[in-house]
Structure formats: structure tokens, C-alpha cells
Amino acid sequence: MMRDDLLQVRAPGINFYVLRDSKGLYVMDGGFIGGRGLLRRALRERGWDKDRILGIIVTHGHLDHILNVASLAEESGAWIAAPRLDMAHYEGRASYRGAARVTGCLEAVGRSLLGFRPFTPTRLLDDGDTLDIWHGLAVIHLPGHTAGHSGFYCASLKLLFCADLFASYGRWSHFPPAILNMDSQLVRRSAAKALKLDLSGVLPNHADTASPEVHLERLKQLLRSPMY
């Protein structure tokens, strides 16, 4: 069950999250096409539309996560915290190698068609950094999908926002395919690293409406699968 101070904004193909504490709201990733409108509607339905967005937390630099970051920051005056190693993505100049060059081509087209605006994070994040918001978040570097791909761990709640570490859709759950990854072997190692945390649940960006506890069990099963 989702917490009262946590909102999942559901969008086609990708979800993102809003965290709320006594100071205001924090958006984790900015969604993709139509994300800003979906965010406004979700905040209105939850009754949070009068609350101020104070910060935007980026998990990694793929376009489906950062398309709206510059606009959201400009509209709200929010700070941006993002993994240091994905800086080239925020600037719109990321390079891809191997199978991932497919993603590079798609993103280049997408940045042009969708009006991507580069941005400079207010704070660059590294493994082990902390954010003193919500119930406290620690940066967990989970590379492989991108160089800087990171999760955000709340120790007090035993929850991990695991970004694109895996996609959680029942028996169709899977690690991201090679065309989307900087290094697919690192993805598996990052999954093993994540599961060493004291966890009660995980919150992926590509997922169905199952609970964080169910998503965690799917990740465990996926890592045990001989396919991976």
C-alpha cells in the first residue's frame, strides 16, 4: 500500500513519484510526454496542488526521466539534485556505445521533437550522499543502465526508489534490455547491491500497481532466474 505522504504519478510506460513532508513537495524524476499535465492532475486529486514543489530529484539521465525537469524547476523555483556521472545527459550531449547506440539515436530525435531543455543541477550527487528531506534519503549508486544511475534509500522506512534497476510487471518483470544500458552486466551487480540493503519494499519507475513489497519479491526472483 502506498503511504499517505507518497504519491505515484502514473503515466504510459513510466511512473514517477512525489514525496511530501512538513516543508513541501519533492518530485522524483519529471516524467515523459505529458508528464507535467499528469503531475498537475495527480496533485489536484490528492489535494496537494497548493503545496510548493521545493525540489526535483533525478535518478538518471535518460530522456523519459528528465524531459520535464528544466520546465518544472523554472515554474516552481525548485532545486535540482542529480547524479554527477550523468551530467552529459542533462546537457543533451550523452554518447552511447554498442547496442545502446539505438537509444542514443532515439533520444537525439526525441530531444528535438519534444523540445528538451538542458539544465544544470543545483547539486550533483555521489554514492553515499544524503538528502535531508521526507524521512531521509541516501544515494545508492546503481550503475549499468547509465553511468550515474542511482536509487534513493530511506533507511527508516526500509524503502528503495530503485529507478530503472528493473521493470516490474508480474511474470513479465525484467532487467532493462541491452539497447537501453551502458553495461548490462553492471545492472545485475547493481541489483545484488540493492538487495543487500535492509528492505521492506522497492519502488521502480517502470511498474504496475503492485505494492512495494511485491515489487521487492519480483526483484529477488529476477536475480535468481537462470535467464539472468
Query: Where in the sequence is the domain holding 85, given as residue range(s)?
Result: 6-224
Cell readout for 5 is: 505522504
Whether the per-residue pLDDT at 148 is higher than 60: the answer is: yes
* Pair 213, 199: CB distance under 8 Å: no
What are the backbone angles phi and psi of residue 59, rounded to the nearest 5°?
A: -85, -35
pLDDT tens readout for residues 122-131: 999 999 999 9
Let me know how many helices (H) and strands (E) the chain has, helices first: 7, 11
At 225, is the pLDDT very low, low, confident or very high (cuts 50, 70, 90)?
confident
CA angle 9–38–115, rounded 5-degree value: 115
Half-sphere exposure in the Cβ direction for 136 (13 Å, CA):
5
Cell readout for 21 is: 513532508
How far apart (Å, rounded) are the C-alpha atoms in residues 100 and 61? Answer: 14
Whether the per-residue pLDDT at 169 is higher than 70: the answer is: yes
The count of structural domains within the chain is 1
Cell readout for 155 is: 533507511
Position 13 scores a pLDDT of: 83
Position 2 scores a pLDDT of: 77
How far apart (Å, rounded) are the C-alpha atoms in residues 103 and 56? Answer: 24
Whether the per-residue pLDDT at 11 is higher than 90: the answer is: no
- Domain-located, residue 81: yes
- Domain-located, residue 215: yes
Position 166 scores a pLDDT of: 98
How buried is residue 45: exposed, middle or buried, by Cβ count under 10 Å (0-12/13-18/19+)? exposed
Block residue for cell numbers 523540445:
115
The DSSP code for 168 is B
Q: How much is the mean pLDDT over the chain?
A: 95
How far apart (Å, rounded) are the C-alpha atoms in residues 144 and 39? Answer: 28
- Domain-located, residue 147: yes
At 12, is the pLDDT very low, low, confident or very high (cuts 50, 70, 90)?
confident
Q: What's the average model confidence in pLDDT over 59-86?
A: 97
pLDDT tens readout for residues 96-114: 999 999 999 999 999 999 9
Q: What's the average model confidence in pLDDT over 11-30?
A: 95
How far apart (Å, rounded) are the C-alpha atoms in residues 2 and 215? Answer: 12
Position 25 scores a pLDDT of: 98
pTM (predicted TM-score)? 0.96
Position 1 scores a pLDDT of: 62
- Domain-located, residue 210: yes
pLDDT tens readout for residues 23-63: 999 999 999 999 999 999 999 999 999 999 999 999 999 99
CATH number at residue 169: 3.60.15.10
Position 227 scores a pLDDT of: 64
- Domain-located, residue 1: no
At 4, is the pLDDT very low, low, confident or very high (cuts 50, 70, 90)?
very high
- Domain-located, residue 41: yes
How far apart (Å, rounded) are the C-alpha atoms in residues 115 and 110? Answer: 8
Percent of residues, the chain, with pLDDT higher than 70: 99
* DSSP code per residue over 149-196: -EEEEETTTTEEEEETS-BB-GGG-BPPPGGG-S-HHHHHHHHHHHHT
Q: What's the average model confidence in pLDDT over 66-81?
A: 97
